[in-house]
Chain A
Amino acid sequence: MAEQGDEWAPLLMAANAGDARAYARFLQAVTPVLRGIVRAKGGSLGTAGCEDVLQEVLLAIHLKRHTWEPGNPVRPWAYAITRHKVIDAFRARGRKIDLPIEDFAEVLAADAGPDPTEAADMAKMIGMLDTRSATIIRKIGLEGVSVAETGAAMTMSEGAVRVALHRALKTLAILRERHVK
Chain B
Amino acid sequence: MKTDDLIRALAADTVRRPHLRTTLVLGMVPSMAIAVLAVWFVLGFRADLLTALVTPISIARILLTGVLGLAATRLALMLARPEGGQVARLWPLAAVAAAALGLLVWAYVSTPAEARQMATVGKTMTTCLVTIPLLSVLPVATLLYVLRQGATTAPMRAGFVAGLAGSGFAAAIYALHCTEDSPLFYVTWYGLAIMGVTLVSTLIGARALRW
Q: Could you give 17 example pairs across A and B, Cβ below 8 Å?
A: A23-B14, A58-B3, A66-B16, A66-B18, A66-B19, A67-B81, A67-B151, A68-B81, A81-B82, A112-B3, A119-B1, A123-B1, A140-B9, A162-B13, A165-B9, A166-B13, A177-B211
- A residues contacting the other copy or chain, number (CB 8 A): 54
Please name the residue on chain A nearest to B23 by beta carbon.
Answer: A66
Main secondary structure, interface of A, reads: helix
A58 with B13: CB separation less than 8 A: no
B7 with A77: CB separation less than 8 A: no
User: B residues touching A (Cβ–Cβ < 8 Å)?
Assistant: 1-20, 80-83, 85-86, 150-151, 153, 210-211
**Which chain A positions have C-beta within 8 A of B211?**
60, 64, 173, 177
B10 with A169: CB separation less than 8 A: yes
Q: How far is the CA of A81 from the CA of B153 in the complex (A)?
A: 8
CB of A46 closer than 8 Å to a CB of B: no
Known: A16-B16, A84-B153, A112-B3. A76 touches B83 (CB 8 A): yes
Q: How far is the CA of A101 from the CA of B86 in the complex (A)?
A: 9
Which chain A residues (50-69) contact chain B, with CB distance < 8 Å? 51, 54-55, 58-60, 62, 64, 66-69
Please name the residue on chain B nearest to A167 by beta carbon.
Answer: B15
Please name the residue on chain B nearest to A137 by beta carbon.
Answer: B9
Known: A24-B11, A59-B10, A165-B9. A116 touches B3 (CB 8 A): yes
Q: How far is the CA of A122 from the CA of B12 in the complex (A)?
A: 17
CB of A83 closer than 8 Å to a CB of B: yes
A80 with B82: CB separation less than 8 A: yes
* Nearest Cβ on chain A to B7's Cβ, whole angstroms: 5
CB of A142 closer than 8 Å to a CB of B: yes
